[in-house]
Amino acid sequence: MPTDRTAPPPVDLTEAFASFTEHFSPRIAAELNGQMVKLVKFAGPFVWHSHAEEDELFLLWRGHFRMEFRDRVVELGPGQLLVVPRGVEHRPVAESEVEIVLFEPAGTLNTGDAPESERTVRDLRPLD
């Protein structure tokens, strides 16, 4: 990310999502005001987890997925967004590949309070 005071170039989401194929491996697209804008692809279920201190915003770019909560399920389609409040246990599930833009505070661990697993990503990569 640029450290000077000039505006960075725009991020083309179509090109950015085409630049990687890994699932459940968020890429940093931008940073602002202590927040990160991350791009992630996934298919199948993620892990049940929550974030004690962070809200998360999921903006669905491509595909369809459901956000499972312990008491309900929310279905999302392209162009829809959902905010998961801090402390709320949730699990995203996609029957086929989806592309999602995440907005969350820098340092937010993707698996939250779930036990460490192969899905835990501690070292985020910027877009290539």
- Ordered mean pLDDT values, 10 residues apiece, the chain (128 residues): 75 97 94 95 95 96 98 98 97 98 88 75 80
Distance between CA atoms of residues 113 and 105, nearest Å: 15
Distance between CA atoms of residues 92 and 47, nearest Å: 8
**CATH classification of the domain holding 68:** 2.60.120.10
Q: Is residue 46 part of a domain?
A: yes
Query: In this predicted structure, what is the pLDDT of residue 67?
Result: 98
Query: In this predicted structure, what is the pLDDT of residue 122?
Result: 79
Query: In this predicted structure, what is the pLDDT of residue 4?
Result: 65
Q: How many domains does the chain have?
A: 1
Query: In this predicted structure, what is the pLDDT of residue 3?
Result: 59
Domain that holds residue 34: 29-115
Distance between CA atoms of residues 119 and 25, nearest Å: 8
